[in-house]
Amino acid sequence: MKTKGSFFSTKYFTLLIIIVALLVIFTVWSKGQMIMPINIRNILNNLVLLGLIGIGACYLMLYGELDISAGAIGSFAGCICALLAMRMGIPSAIAAIIAILVGCVAGLCNALMINILKFPPFIATMSMSYILQGAGYMIATSQGISIKKLAFLNFIGDTKFFNGLVPVMIIITVLFLVVYGIILSRTQFGRTIYLCGGNRRAARLCGLNPKKLSYMLYINSAFLASVAGIIYISRVKTALPTALTSFQFTGVTAAILGGVAFGGGSGNMVGCTLGMLILAIFNNGVSTVGFNANYTKVFNGVLLIIGLALDAIAARRNAKKVVATSLASAKTGKKEETA
Amino acid sequence: MAEYVELKNINKAFPGVRALRDIDLRVEGGLVTALIGENGAGKSTLLKVLSGEIRPDTGTIDLSGEIKHFSHPKEAIDAGISVIYQERQLVPMMSVMENIFIDNIPSNKAGLINRRELKKRATEIIETFGLDIDPEEPVGRLSVAQQQMVEIMKAYRRDSRVICFDEPTAPLMDAEIETLFRIIRELRDQGKVVLYVSHRMGEIFQITDRLAIMKDGAMVTTRVTAETTEAEVVKLMVGRDVGDTYKNLVRNDRIGPVLLEVEGLNTEAVHDISFQLHEGEVLGFAGLVGAGRTEVMRALFGDDKILSGTIRLEGKEVSFKSPREAIEAGIMLCPEDRKEEGLILPRSISDNISAPVLKKLRKGLFMDRRSETELAQAGKDKYNIKTPTLDKRTIELSGGNQQKVILARWTSDKLNTRILILDEPTKGIDVGTKAEVYQMVCDLAREGKGVIFISSELTEVLNVADRIIVMHDGHITGEVMREEATEENVLALAMKE
């Protein structure tokens, strides 16, 4: 059983320390710019998109698979929404709902490719990603579609509560994080994800349905990405076919940094959220101190490698622990025999 | 100088099991030494330590005076140790000669393969062994026996000082075994260290000079083959008189009406399967590995597609489209492969026990943690699972405790268990726990459940089951009551052509 004192030895504590350290380093390095209100808002804006896509990635990673089309699905949903609202005059709220549904269909197609055609998830979602990017260019061209005077989208993008301090999209994201976190840790559905992620075959023989779950998780990932896409266009006021493509791997990176084991079965939403924070702060910090966007990509790669290395080290340490405990139990077993 | 291998104080632990404990063994050149023991005694692990595939936790290997620590199979090969495994390590598309010289193909200065030289040297080796194999034939087209010979020639070509055979005769026919033995004797007479792992008593006494007997990961003793008897060796291997465990079983003596009736069941793997299972009965399924027993159970459990046939549960016809439906009807399956199909290894004991009954452990929208813990605790108490906490991940448990977790899962009071199918429940479990499992099987029967008990260990099925169904090649070939069953008549049915 967990005790209060053990919090300081958990990985969450390590992650928190990393977050604080990053904040301090970048604040000093950027001579205070890092914690200016406008920059904090940039971090939060980035966190909104990262958070939504990251939740979907976290769920899928716990199940042992991944979806690298999430960014493309989000961008495409944004383009569809802009197309319907700006060019066809459909009310923006309805346009957003249709766009999200279209995104979900893309997720369903991912699941069909993976479960029926038995494509590896990486290949299936990568091809989906190419298709949707191409389709996005056809709809919005590289100029994009600009968004003007749309009631619903303006509400999502511009409304701020508490004296203009907290944008509505932050509230939406936090709500999603909390609800998804509770679903994961407290409900039958959440448990099913862990069990199927831990061993699909055994889970099926326990009467669970991993295939059905796979469909739900890919559709869920696409749903969250589409919501992120809508939020993006409502804030930036332009629907671009490449709006979220840089989020191809960030969800996966955040999940790994937050301690979701590659291959599934262990990890949780708290860790994922901390992983997302690290990524958001890091990306912002790198650009605040003056590196250009190309560097951010290099650093992201490095961060992913670090995350995977930590995962591998943890796995190895775990294996050692397992051996040690079995050695110990074998020894005590021996004592019992002789006694 | 005479060659020898001496293992000193070798220890190796894996998750959940201590595979080798304090092994000390000296094997002399010029003799064939048998390495014998029950399944799971540690023979294969010891071979892997010798071949550099596994790094022992402690201990050294003394190779005719040189102390070795292998961290890679290549190092063991370079030191002159070759292990010939059951699964042959050949490249099927490449020719015999290329396989023999696989890590040392003769080539010219430009780095191109010198085919003429290669063929000449390969032919020499083939002739030394007096074999009729074409050096240019792709290995994939050779018979299993010939492939094994290619492996041996590879070891010979490497000029190995130590050659280990892991169950070499399992896939061979009598005439082929003769050839193999001739070659083994030849290697022996050249003064090489020959280590021979096998289960077959007859051939051990025929080919070996020394016996090294292992049990539960430890070296029991060594014997001169000519000075011992089969009975003594078996007793040393098992470490007890086998009869007692079974004599002390408290069995069920009230067998009830028919619970399950299978008639004319056909799937892609099994054909025309018909049998009945009664309440309170332990029904054994015997047969060789691959006879189709597991496949019958998978079909019963709704996991494999049924092509034709009927299944009646208490007289009512049922057909399950998924394991879920079978579980709801009261049929539970403990699969053969505990780690791949049974347990969800990275999850806790309690998660594993509650997995099939999550729906019943809900309070509104959320999981009810208290009743889940109660359920797991009840399972732990009932089966005496040894663990400090129910949060322990099942990967950290020993084989026996893992099996108990699965039993606890399928017999919890949230499930209406009518029939329990146990597929090789004692595989990889130590002897003491095996006896516990047998008693659990009988207890389940005493509770009025129908138990199907699959095992490839003949003595075990013969002694635990009330009635034994024997399968061969996807068909049922016979049925025997325990009182009439002998190893001979069951084995005859299992090998029926």
Q: What is the pLDDT along chain B (497 residues), one digit of tens a residue?
A: 588 999 999 998 876 667 888 999 999 999 999 998 776 678 888 988 998 888 899 999 998 888 888 888 888 888 889 888 766 778 888 899 988 888 878 877 777 888 888 899 999 988 888 888 899 989 888 887 888 888 888 888 888 899 998 888 766 777 778 888 988 998 899 899 999 988 777 788 889 999 999 887 889 888 998 898 877 887 787 765 555 677 778 888 888 999 999 999 999 989 999 999 999 999 999 887 778 899 999 999 999 999 999 999 999 999 899 999 999 999 999 998 888 899 999 899 999 999 999 999 988 889 999 999 999 999 999 988 888 889 888 988 877 889 899 999 999 989 999 999 999 888 767 666 788 889 999 999 999 999 999 987 788 888 899 999 999 888 999 999 988 888 778 878 887 65
Query: Is residue B283 within 8 Å of B450, Cβ to Cβ?
Result: yes
- Name the residue among A1, A199, A330 with its Cβ closest to that of B345: A199
Do B216 and B260 lie in one domain? The reply is: no
Domain count along chain B: 2
Do B359 and A323 count as a contact with CB atoms less than 8 A apart? no
- The alpha-carbon gap from A191 to the nearest alpha carbon of chain B, in Å, equals 8
Query: Is residue B3 within 8 Å of B193, Cβ to Cβ?
Result: yes
Rounded Cα gap, residues A24 and B228, in angstroms:
77
Do B223 and B265 lie in one domain? The reply is: no
How confident is the model over A220-258, as pLDDT tens digits? Answer: 999 999 999 999 998 888 889 888 888 878 888 888 888
How confident is the model over A25-55, as pLDDT tens digits? Answer: 998 888 888 888 888 888 888 889 999 999 9
Rounded Cα gap, residues B404 and A104, in angstroms:
43
Query: Is residue B477 within 8 Å of B445, Cβ to Cβ?
Result: no
Do B398 and A327 count as a contact with CB atoms less than 8 A apart? no
B488: how many CB neighbours lie within 10 A of its CB? Answer: 9
How confident is the model over A117-168, as pLDDT tens digits? Answer: 999 999 999 999 999 999 999 998 888 888 887 777 777 777 777 766 778 8
pLDDT at A196: 95
Rounded Cα gap, residues B251 and B438, in angstroms:
10
Q: Which residues contact B163 (CB under 8 A, 6 or more apart)?
A: B82, B83, B84, B152, B155, B187, B192, B193, B194, B195
Could you tell me where the DSSP H helices lie in B302-398?
323-329, 349-354, 369-383
| Band of residue A6 on the pLDDT scale cut at 50, 70, 90 | low
Rounded Cα gap, residues B477 and B292, in angstroms:
12
Query: Is residue B471 within 8 Å of B496, Cβ to Cβ?
Result: no
- Name the residue among A202, A325, A329 with its Cβ closest to that of B342: A202
- Name the residue among B17, B362, B389 with its Cβ closest to that of A188: B362
- Name the residue among A187, A265, A323 with its Cβ closest to that of B13: A323
All domains of chain A, ordered by start, with CATH? 4-292 (1.10.3470)
Q: Which two tokens stand for residue B411?
A: 């017999």
Do A208 and B324 count as a contact with CB atoms less than 8 A apart? yes
Do A329 and B398 count as a contact with CB atoms less than 8 A apart? yes
Q: Which residues contact A162 (CB under 8 A, 6 or more apart)?
A: none
Rounded Cα gap, residues B429 and B422, in angstroms:
14
Buried b (16+ CB within 10 A) or exposed e, A232-241: bbbbbbbbbb
Rounded Cα gap, residues A131 and A69, in angstroms:
10
Please tell me what DSSP assigns to residue A187: B
Q: For the packed helices A37-63 and A168-186, what is the interaxial angle rounded to 10 degrees?
A: 30
- Name the residue among B17, B323, B386 with its Cβ closest to that of A204: B323
Contact residues, chain A, for B356 at CB < 8 Å: 206-208
Do B389 and A1 count as a contact with CB atoms less than 8 A apart? yes
Which of these three, B179, B204, B239, is where a domain ends?
B239
How confident is the model over B96-115, as pLDDT tens digits? Answer: 998 888 887 887 777 788 88
Contact residues, chain A, for B351 at CB < 8 Å: 191, 194-195
Q: Which two tokens stand for residue B396?
A: 């950290």
- The alpha-carbon gap from B309 to the nearest alpha carbon of chain A, in Å, equals 22
Contact residues, chain B, for A209 at CB < 8 Å: 322, 324
pLDDT at B242: 55
Chain A residue at shortest CA distance from B334: A205
pLDDT surpasses 90 at A180: yes
Query: Is residue B396 within 8 Å of B343, Cβ to Cβ?
Result: no
Q: Would you give the distance in Å from CA B251 to the centre of its chain?
A: 27
pLDDT at B200: 74
Rounded Cα gap, residues A310 and A303, in angstroms:
11
DSSP-based three-state secondary structure for B27: strand
pLDDT at A296: 77
Mutate to test the interface with B, among A206, A260, A262, A323 (most CBs of B within 10 A): A206
- Name the residue among A199, A204, A209 with its Cβ closest to that of B343: A199
Query: Is residue A87 within 8 Å of A80, Cβ to Cβ?
Result: no
Identity of the residue numbered B427? K
Q: Which two tokens stand for residue B247?
A: 């004599």
Residue that wins the pLDDT comparison between B161 and A310: B161
Do B193 and B263 lie in one domain? The reply is: no
Do B34 and B12 lie in one domain? The reply is: yes
- Name the residue among B333, B386, B398 with its Cβ closest to that of A205: B333
Q: Which residues contact B442 (CB under 8 A, 6 or more apart)?
A: B249, B250, B251, B252, B282, B464
Q: Which residues contact A248 (CB under 8 A, 6 or more apart)?
A: A68, A70, A71, A72, A129
3-class secondary structure per residue, chain A: CCCHHHHHHCHHHHHHHHHHHHHHHHHHHCCCHHHCHHHHHHHHHHHHHHHHHHHHHHHHHHHCCCCCCHHHHHHHHHHHHHHHHHHCCCCHHHHHHHHHHHHHHHHHHHHHHHHCCCCCHHHHHHHHHHHHHHHHHHHHCCCCEECCCCHHHHHHHHCEECCCCEEHHHHHHHHHHHHHHHHHHHEHHHHHHHHHHHCHHHHHHCCCCHHHHHHHHHHHHHHHHHHHHHHHHHHHCEECCCCCHHHCCHHHHHHHHCCCCCCCCCCCHHHHHHHHHHHHHHHHHHHHCCCCHHHHHHHHHHHHHHHHHHHHHHHHHHHHHHHHHHHHHHHHHHHHHHC
Burial label for A163, CB within 10 Å (0-12, 13-18, 19+), is exposed
Q: Which residues contact A276 (CB under 8 A, 6 or more apart)?
A: A47, A50, A51, A54, A254, A258
> Can you tell me the mean pLDDT for A197-225?
95
Distances in Å between the alpha carbon of A212 and those of A226, B405, B436? Answer: 21, 26, 38
pLDDT surpasses 60 at A334: no
Rounded Cα gap, residues B343 and B356, in angstroms:
12
pLDDT at A328: 55
**Where is A229: in which H helix or E strand?**
helix A210-236
Query: Is residue B233 within 8 Å of B223, Cβ to Cβ?
Result: yes
Q: Which residues of chain A have a Cβ shorter than 8 Å from any chain B Cβ?
A: 1, 186-188, 191-192, 194-195, 198-199, 201-209, 261, 265-266, 319, 321-323, 325-327, 329-330
Which of these three, B199, B224, B239, is where a domain ends?
B239
pLDDT at A304: 79
| Band of residue A198 on the pLDDT scale cut at 50, 70, 90 | very high
pLDDT at B400: 81
Q: Would you give the distance in Å from CA B51 to the centre of its chain?
A: 20
Rounded Cα gap, residues B28 and B47, in angstroms:
16
Do A330 and B344 count as a contact with CB atoms less than 8 A apart? no
For B438, the domain range is 244-494
B243: how many CB neighbours lie within 10 A of its CB? Answer: 10
Rounded Cα gap, residues A43 and A277, in angstroms:
9
Contact residues, chain B, for A321 at CB < 8 Å: 396
Do B62 and B76 lie in one domain? The reply is: yes
> Can you tell me the mean pLDDT for A291-315?
78
Do B30 and B163 lie in one domain? The reply is: yes
User: What is the rounded average pLDDT for all residues in chain A?
Assistant: 85
Chain A residue at shortest CA distance from B14: A323
Do B308 and B330 lie in one domain? The reply is: yes
Q: For residue A103, is it left (φ>0), alpha (ψ between -120 and 50) or beta?
A: alpha
pLDDT surpasses 60 at A270: yes
Q: Which residues of chain B have a Cβ shorter than 8 Å from any chain A Cβ?
A: 13-18, 21, 57, 301, 303, 322-324, 327-328, 333, 335, 340-347, 351, 355-356, 358-359, 361-362, 365-367, 386, 389, 391, 395-396, 398, 409
Do A323 and B15 count as a contact with CB atoms less than 8 A apart? yes
Do B398 and A326 count as a contact with CB atoms less than 8 A apart? yes
Rounded Cα gap, residues A232 and A156, in angstroms:
10
Torsions phi, psi for A119 (to 5 deg): -70, 145
Do A203 and B355 count as a contact with CB atoms less than 8 A apart? yes
| Band of residue A339 on the pLDDT scale cut at 50, 70, 90 | very low
Do A265 and B366 count as a contact with CB atoms less than 8 A apart? no
pLDDT surpasses 60 at A5: no
Contact residues, chain B, for A325 at CB < 8 Å: 396
Rounded Cα gap, residues B128 and A22, in angstroms:
71
Do A322 and B16 count as a contact with CB atoms less than 8 A apart? yes
Residue B66 pairs in a beta bridge with B63
Do B222 and B336 lie in one domain? The reply is: no
Do A326 and B18 count as a contact with CB atoms less than 8 A apart? yes
Do B323 and A205 count as a contact with CB atoms less than 8 A apart? yes
In percent, the amount of chain A with pLDDT more than 90 equals 42
Quickly count helices (H) and strands (E) in chain A.
Answer: 13, 4
| Band of residue A1 on the pLDDT scale cut at 50, 70, 90 | very low
- Name the residue among B328, B367, B395 with its Cβ closest to that of A188: B367
Query: Is residue A59 within 8 Å of A114, Cβ to Cβ?
Result: no
How confident is the model over A58-102, as pLDDT tens digits? Answer: 999 999 999 999 999 999 999 999 999 888 888 889 999 999 999
Query: Is residue B336 within 8 Å of B424, Cβ to Cβ?
Result: yes
- The alpha-carbon gap from B12 to the nearest alpha carbon of chain A, in Å, equals 9
- Name the residue among B16, B333, B347 with its Cβ closest to that of A195: B347
Do B103 and B36 lie in one domain? The reply is: yes
> If you count residue pairs, one on A and one on B, with CB atoms under 8 Å apart, how many are there?
104
Residue that wins the pLDDT comparison between B112 and A182: A182
Rounded Cα gap, residues B416 and B170, in angstroms:
43
> Can you tell me the mean pLDDT for A314-321?
70
Query: Is residue A226 within 8 Å of A104, Cβ to Cβ?
Result: yes
Rounded Cα gap, residues B76 and B162, in angstroms:
10
A174: how many CB neighbours lie within 10 A of its CB? Answer: 15
The sign of the dihedral angle between the CA atoms of B80, B85, B91, B94 is: positive
B362: how many CB neighbours lie within 10 A of its CB? Answer: 15
End-to-end Cα, chain B, rounded Å = 51
Do A204 and B355 count as a contact with CB atoms less than 8 A apart? no
Query: Is residue B119 within 8 Å of B97, Cβ to Cβ?
Result: yes
pLDDT surpasses 80 at A7: no
Chain A residue at shortest CA distance from B354: A206
pLDDT at B287: 83
Largest CA distance in chain B: 82
Which of these three, B191, B222, B239, is where a domain ends?
B239
Do B341 and B313 lie in one domain? The reply is: yes
Rounded Cα gap, residues B210 and B372, in angstroms:
55
Do B151 and B276 lie in one domain? The reply is: no
- Name the residue among A194, A261, A319 with its Cβ closest to that of B15: A319
Do B91 and B164 lie in one domain? The reply is: yes
Do B18 and A330 count as a contact with CB atoms less than 8 A apart? yes
Query: What's B487's domain CATH number?
Result: 3.40.50.300
